[in-house]
């Protein structure tokens, strides 16, 4: 039995995280939604028709939806590329309703939709099927009223026939596909085409003087011989003594990464490498192991590399690394590694020395005052906290140990966090006995300051 991973959103608006597409001898399956034990969401459980005892739920994956009359169920399979979960492909699977909650996969329709849409979009831009390198076709949650047609969006990568060092990307094509007639009968958005370099195309960087009254130099990037397509980067950059190296500090919503270029001539550089969570030459591994942490717990989408300056030795930089790691324990807490600094050799592409092992701090997701359990606080630490902050810190300490609250607003507030595990069977005395010595001391200090501030108000 082959299993595909999905998460589902029903048209009725019920948030569902889960499910599994099952391929049996008949390709027929049944399903039902069941409330989750740990939250307000519901899960979709799927099993081979007639074998409910084999029902399986899965909380990771992509999407699925029903047509307005529930005649069709569209499941989207997510395919993560090996070693890189940020690189994903998707595949549609269509299931036709047989009766009640029984559906059957329609493999013929799957293939027809994929082939017809792909061929249509390629021909629209003058490409052949042999030019196609990879593609993604996804549903748009838009159906015809009679459920015979669904809107889909396509993103396709093809070889650039004019320059083999480049790919062309056709992104955002959107059209309506008729499931019964197996044809695209309306284009909603022709999409746009853009160039992307292959691994053989060099990337160039250029420092340009300010324009239009700007006060600082700017940095521009282009690939291959396409200097006329240069794009300005909104990033900070640093140049070494003698201008032999250029380091670019890029920032993402989840952190930051470094790119470095070797001088070609004058203000033009050739991109020579980068430091990111997918290409760090073991930096993350070294930093984590140095602190006794497991590399397997590294969450690659919560990291930050930073430029800390130039080393005294030429061709070397000081690089900082900060990261969030999952500890994967029963409380689902996180560890944060901050302040790790090392010397990175740009020519050798590796760490040659470590300067600071960094600091490991623990924090639960959504926790506002982790310091109340990490160390004994002083009056100076909390003297600027407001009365509301002091009250919250006290409640948060008790919540970490499973205390329940008479105030339903407070109870509801903490229930949104995965680490809150209320124990209604425990008395307040039992909760207080479970506090660490540092937590007990901090509670006393917080209450003292809370009382004094309460009297002031």
pLDDT of amino acid 30: 76
pLDDT at position 6 is 33
CB neighbour list of residue 425: distance below 8 Å, 6 or more residues apart:
none
Contacts of 173 (CB under 8 A, 6+ apart): 121, 124, 153, 154, 155, 156, 187, 189, 190, 191
Q: Minimal CA–CA distance to 74: which of 25, 21, 27?
A: 21
C-alpha separations of 365 from 230, 331, 332 in Å: 41, 10, 8
Distance CA(303)–CA(277), nearest Å, equals 7
Query: What's the pLDDT at 28?
Result: 80
Each of the 457 residues of the chain gets a pLDDT tens digit; together they read 222 333 333 332 222 223 334 444 457 877 776 766 655 555 667 788 778 888 776 544 456 678 888 888 888 777 665 544 455 667 788 888 888 778 888 788 888 999 999 999 999 988 888 888 888 898 887 898 888 999 999 999 888 766 666 788 888 999 999 998 899 989 999 988 877 666 667 889 999 988 776 678 899 998 887 888 888 988 889 999 999 999 998 876 556 789 999 999 999 999 998 887 555 557 887 888 777 776 666 766 667 888 999 999 999 999 998 887 765 444 445 677 888 999 999 998 889 999 988 877 666 667 788 778 777 888 888 888 888 889 999 999 998 888 899 888 888 888 888 778 888 888 888 888 878 787 889 999 999 988 887 655 4
Contact 107, 27 (CB under 8 A): yes
Contact status, residue 19 vs residue 76, Cβ threshold 8 Å: no
**Inter-CA distances, 67 with 12, 23, 139, 175, Å:** 11, 21, 11, 17
**Pairing of β 255-265 and β 298-310:** parallel
pLDDT of 12: 28
- Quote the pLDDT of residue 268: 96
Residue 42 confidence (pLDDT): 59
Q: How far apart are CA 69 and CA 96, in angstroms?
A: 11
User: Closest by alpha carbon to 280, among 310, 323, 334?
Assistant: 323
> How many angstroms separate the CA atoms of 34 and 39, rounded?
12
Domains of the chain listed by start with CATH number: 1-105 (no CATH), 107-201 (3.10.450), 203-363 (no CATH), 371-456 (1.20.58)
- Measured CA distances, 85 to 48, 88, 89, 279 (Å): 29, 7, 10, 13
CB 114 within 8 A of CB 44: no
Cα 403 from chain centre:
32
Please give the pLDDT value at position 267: 95
């Amino acid at each position: 039995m082959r299993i595909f991973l999905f998460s589902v959103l029903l048209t009725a608006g019920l948030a569902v995280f889960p499910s599994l597409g099952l391929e049996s001898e008949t390709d027929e399956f049944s399903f039902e939604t069941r409330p989750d034990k740990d939250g307000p969401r519901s899960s979709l459980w799927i099993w081979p028709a007639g074998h409910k005892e084999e029902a399986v739920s899965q909380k990771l994956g992509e999407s699925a939806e029903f047509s307005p009359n529930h005649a069709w169920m569209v499941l989207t399979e997510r395919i993560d590329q090996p070693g890189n979960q940020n690189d994903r492909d998707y595949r549609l699977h269509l299931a036709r309703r047989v009766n009640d909650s029984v559906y059957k996969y329609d493999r013929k329709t799957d293939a027809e939709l994929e082939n017809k849409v792909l061929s249509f979009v390629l021909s629209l831009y003058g490409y052949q099927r042999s030019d196609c390198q990879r593609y993604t076709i996804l549903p748009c949650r838009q159906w015809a009223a009679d459920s015979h047609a669904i809107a889909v969006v396509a993103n396709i990568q093809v070889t650039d026939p004019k320059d083999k060092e480049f790919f062309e990307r056709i992104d955002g094509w959107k059209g309506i596909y008729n499931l019964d007639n197996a044809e695209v009968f309306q284009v909603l958005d022709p999409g746009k085409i853009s160039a992307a370099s292959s691994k053989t195309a060099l990337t160039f960087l250029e420092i340009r003087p300010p324009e239009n009254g700007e006060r600082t130099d700017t940095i521009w990037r282009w690939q291959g011989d396409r200097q006329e397509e240069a794009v300005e980067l909104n990033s900070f950059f640093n140049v070494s003594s003698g201008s032999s190296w250029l380091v670019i500090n890029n920032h993402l919503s989840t952190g930051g990464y470094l790119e470095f270029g070797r001088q070609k001539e004058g203000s033009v550089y050739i991109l020579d490498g980068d430091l990111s969570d997918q290409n760090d030459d073991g930096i993350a591994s070294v930093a984590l192991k140095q602190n006794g942490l497991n590399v397997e717990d590294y969450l690659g989408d919560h990291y930050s590399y930073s430029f800390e300056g130039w080393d005294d030795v030429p061709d070397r930089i000081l690089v900082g690394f900060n990261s969030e790691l999952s500890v994967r324990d029963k409380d689902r807490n996180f560890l944060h590694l901050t302040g790790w600094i090392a010397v990175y050799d740009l020519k050798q592409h590796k760490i040659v020395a470590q300067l600071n092992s960094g600091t490991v701090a623990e924090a639960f997701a959504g926790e506002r005052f982790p310091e109340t359990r990490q160390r004994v606080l002083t009056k100076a630490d909390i003297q600027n906290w407001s009365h509301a902050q002091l009250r919250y810190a006290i409640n948060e300490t008790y919540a970490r140990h499973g205390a329940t609250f008479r105030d339903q607003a407070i109870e509801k507030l903490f229930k949104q966090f995965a680490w809150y595990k209320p124990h209604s069977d425990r008395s307040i005395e039992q909760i207080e006995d479970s506090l660490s010595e540092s937590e007990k001391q901090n509670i006393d200090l917080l209450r003292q300051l809370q009382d004094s501030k309460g009297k002031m108000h």
